[in-house]
Amino acid sequence: MGLSSALNTALYGLAFNQRQLDVTAANIASADTVGYTKKSIQASVAYGRNGQVIGVVSDQITRSLDENAQREYRTSSADMSYLDLMKSYASRVDALIGTLSDPGSLNKVMAQFVSDLSALTTSPEDYTVRLQVMQSAKAVASELNSATSAVQQMRQEAENQIGDTVGRINELIRSVSDINKEIVTQKAGYQSTADLEDQRDRYLDELSGLIDINVREDPNGAVRLYTTGGMSLLDVYPSELRFDGRATVTAEAQWSEDPAQRKTGTITLVTPGGSTIDLIANKGLHSGRLGALVDMRDNYLVEVQDQLDEIASQLSQALSSHNVAGTDAGATPPQQGQNLDMAALQKGNKVTLTYKDAATGEDRTITFIRVDDPSQLPLDNSQTADPNDTVYGIDFSGGYASAAAQMQAALGGTGFTVTDTGSVFSFVDDGGTTSTLSGVTGTYTATGLADEGTPALPVFTDGLAGQPYTGALEGRDQKVGYAGRISVNPALIDDISRLVVYDSAAPTETGDPTRALHLLNALTQTSRQYDSKAGIGTESAPFNGTVVDYLSEVVSRQSAKSANVNSMHAGQKVVTNNLKSRVDDSSAVNMDEELARLIQLQNAYTSNARVMTVIRELFDVLMNA
């Protein structure tokens, strides 16, 4: 090797050593910087014109990173963020519903109400006991009101946070898009993009916690972003998420695919070309903080509210409803018939007709519900909790004759004849040819405090104006949000003697326990069916039990759900932390290694410098010879 070749080799070595020193120094300086990945230089051999090796040159700076672990970590991070938020809200709901031992909890105040009713059965004449019943009834209503307020406040929080999260997602997508452009430009100029890739990864890691994403890298160094459902967030140009948030969220405010019916905000993905996709309608959110917020607002908390409304509804109806059995209609045998007076039938009240089908021998049930708003018709079978009945809505606004005609049309080929004489309806079968009548029963709501022929009492009403609670469907389903409006009947507050006195014509004795026993048994002995839409029981097997049983089941279910979310969160945390450790270990700077490398590089630099010194001395000798 000639002196010139040796000099070139030393120069190449010095240049490469300097680049290595710069990278190593940067590794050491940035070792504690979050998101920094260990860097190294790829080297290649440099050849002279005659093909001889003359040294090494530095190529691109590369990052040390386990990309497979990084992909898995981002997926796990989305699930972790989802469960983080779910855990937070589930814990709040669990604390809100409480347990029997929690002072002031719904279960506790209901137990006190039942206890005070029990005391009233033994001391109906005691004014102090009556006052205590009223106070405990007010406590039950107040607890349902405050629970509803808390649930809707949480839904409002979720609504507001959806807007904030959507805004941050858009910022991150735009930031990734901007860095993409820089990376593509620098790669085209053969410049290092390692630091830019670190910065982009920090954005992507944050983004993966907000919305579930798939990241795909192009050969030019840019990345494309998609949701796990395949919807494009960033291609060549970024898409944009839009959210039409609402200032007020109430129990009646729920999301709907129909914009005219929608009362909470929806999330729309707008592509660079102007196309729009409703991410909620298309189920485009699977995890991440955004998915959890939507799930909490539209599902989890709505179910909690449904359960509160079901408690309030069943509580009111258990105390105020009474059944009236049909009487013999005097039909000519073998026909059977019954009469039922519907003068007391309120909007939302039911008439149940049972019969045996001659063709199949099966017992069948038909439920008629009074609905005076034709826009609500027809009703489907889910309007009752009974999985075995067929439901028809009957519009009474046109009078009794019109209502009877509607019932006749609904019964169709069952062989029944329906007629009316004023408010009295007659139901007569065809003598067993098609069907055999088993019975007709009306379930009516007592709206007055006395003289309705029943000890049933409307202890609770809808709103401060004292509107009876009947489960009416006019305008809206009265049950929706009822837990937030339930209150003790103002008329009963004014006259608490009606906790005992239910008949003025034959005056009830002040010590008569009949009404108190009826109210107590309605809550603790009478089994009822509950709407499975509230998440307890199923359509085919609804929950059956007393009002007290149902409340206990709600408390138990919410506690179990919170425990389940906590368990899932703990498991996901282990997985996410392990993946994070794998990513960090693959990219972390080892200070001992870097310091050792620094010493090696300094020695190499010194060696190359010494070679150049020797060559200079040799050149001096040659020049002076």
DSSP string computed for 228-283 = TTS-EEESSSB-EEEE---S---TT----SSTTT--S--EEEE-TTS-EEETTTTT
Distance CA 20, CA 62 (A): 12
For residue 40, the model assigns a pLDDT of 67
Q: Does the structure show a pLDDT above 70 at 221?
A: yes
CB 481 within 8 A of CB 251: yes
CB 371 within 8 A of CB 478: no
Residue 199: enclosing H or E segment and its boundaries? helix 194-210
Q: Determine the average pLDDT of the residues in 50-66.
A: 59
pLDDT tens, position by position, 8-43: 565 555 566 666 666 666 667 666 777 777 666 765
Distance CA 285, CA 287 (A): 6
Q: Does the structure show a pLDDT above 60 at 460?
A: yes
Give the confidence band of 453 by pLDDT, cuts at 50, 70, 90: confident
For residue 54, the model assigns a pLDDT of 46
- Mean pLDDT over the full length of the chain: 88
CB 583 within 8 A of CB 70: yes
Per-residue b or e along 87-122, where b marks 16 or more CB atoms closer than 10 Å to that residue's CB: bebbebbbebbbbeeeeebbbbbbbbbbebbebbbe
Distance CA 381, CA 368 (A): 11
Q: Which residues have CB under 8 Å from 445's CB, separation 6+?
A: 317, 320, 321, 346, 348, 349, 458, 468, 469, 470
**Pairing of the two strands 363-370 and 350-357:** antiparallel
Give the best-scoring range by mean pLDDT among 42-51, 193-202, 489-498, 592-601.
489-498
Q: Does the structure show a pLDDT above 60 at 172?
A: yes
CB 239 within 8 A of CB 233: yes
Q: 170 exposed, middle or buried (CB, 10 Å; 0-12, 13-18, 19+)? A: middle
Q: Determine the average pLDDT of the residues in 326-355.
A: 96
Distance CA 498, CA 491 (A): 9
Residue 9: enclosing H or E segment and its boundaries? helix 3-29
Distance CA 120, CA 126 (A): 8
The widest CA-to-CA distance across the chain, in whole angstroms, is: 146
Give the confidence band of 46 by pLDDT, cuts at 50, 70, 90: very low
Of the candidates 273, 270, 265, the one whose C-alpha atom is nearest the C-alpha of residue 290 is: 265
For residue 584, the model assigns a pLDDT of 75
Long-range pairs for 88-91 at CB < 8 Å and ≥24 separation? 89/154, 89/158, 89/296, 89/300, 89/301, 90/300, 90/561, 90/562, 90/565, 90/566, 91/562, 91/566
Q: Determine the average pLDDT of the residues in 155-179.
A: 97
For residue 188, the model assigns a pLDDT of 82
**By percentage, how much of the chain surpasses pLDDT 70?**
84
Q: Does the structure show a pLDDT above 90 at 231?
A: yes
Give residue 468's Cα distance to chain centre: 31
For residue 57, the model assigns a pLDDT of 45
Single pTM value for the model: 0.87
Range from 441-455, 556-570, 577-591 carrying the lowest mean pLDDT: 577-591
For residue 58, the model assigns a pLDDT of 47
Q: Determine the average pLDDT of the residues in 498-513.
A: 87
Give the confidence band of 105 by pLDDT, cuts at 50, 70, 90: confident
Which strands make up the sheet holding 435-445, listed edge to edge?
A: 321-325, 435-445, 350-357, 363-370, 389-394
Of the candidates 161, 298, 154, 174, the one whose C-alpha atom is nearest the C-alpha of residue 243 is: 161
Give the confidence band of 504 by pLDDT, cuts at 50, 70, 90: confident
Distance CA 33, CA 30 (A): 5
Distance CA 156, CA 243 (A): 14
Q: Determine the average pLDDT of the residues in 265-278.
A: 95
For residue 195, the model assigns a pLDDT of 84
What SS3 state is found at 418?
strand
Range from 7-11, 21-25, 231-235, 313-317 carrying the lowest mean pLDDT: 7-11
Our separate counts of H helices and E strands in the chain read 12, 21
Distance CA 331, CA 349 (A): 26
What SS3 state is found at 537?
strand
CA distances to 82, 246, 432 from 262, rounded to whole Å, are 24, 10, 49
For residue 53, the model assigns a pLDDT of 46
For residue 98, the model assigns a pLDDT of 80
Strand partners, 439: 354
Tokens, residue 344: 């007391």
- Which residue's entry shows tokens 């079968």? 429
**Cβ neighbours of 134 (radius 10 Å):** 18
Phi-psi region of 55 (alpha: psi -120 to 50; beta: other; left: phi over 0): left
CB 146 within 8 A of CB 98: no
CB 445 within 8 A of CB 320: yes
Distance CA 346, CA 370 (A): 7
φ, ψ of residue 358 in degrees (nearest 5):
-65, -35
For residue 192, the model assigns a pLDDT of 79
- Which residue's entry shows tokens 């409703």? 278
Residue 94: enclosing H or E segment and its boundaries? helix 67-97
Phi-psi region of 469 (alpha: psi -120 to 50; beta: other; left: phi over 0): beta
Q: Does the structure show a pLDDT above 60 at 125?
A: yes
Q: Where are the alpha helices (DSSP H) in 460-542?
A: 490-494, 514-524
Give the confidence band of 56 by pLDDT, cuts at 50, 70, 90: very low
Q: Where are the alpha helices (DSSP H) in 396-489?
A: 400-411
Long-range pairs for 131-137 at CB < 8 Å and ≥24 separation? 131/496, 133/496, 133/499, 134/488, 134/492, 134/493, 134/496, 134/499, 136/109, 136/112, 137/113, 137/459, 137/460, 137/488
Give the confidence band of 451 by pLDDT, cuts at 50, 70, 90: confident
Q: Which residues have CB under 8 Å from 171's CB, separation 6+?
A: none
Q: Determine the average pLDDT of the residues in 514-532.
A: 96
Q: Which DSSP state fits 440?
A: E
Q: Does the structure show a pLDDT above 90 at 49?
A: no
Residue 58: enclosing H or E segment and its boundaries? strand 53-63
Q: Determine the average pLDDT of the residues in 464-491.
A: 90
Q: Which residue has the higher pLDDT, 130 or 99?
A: 130
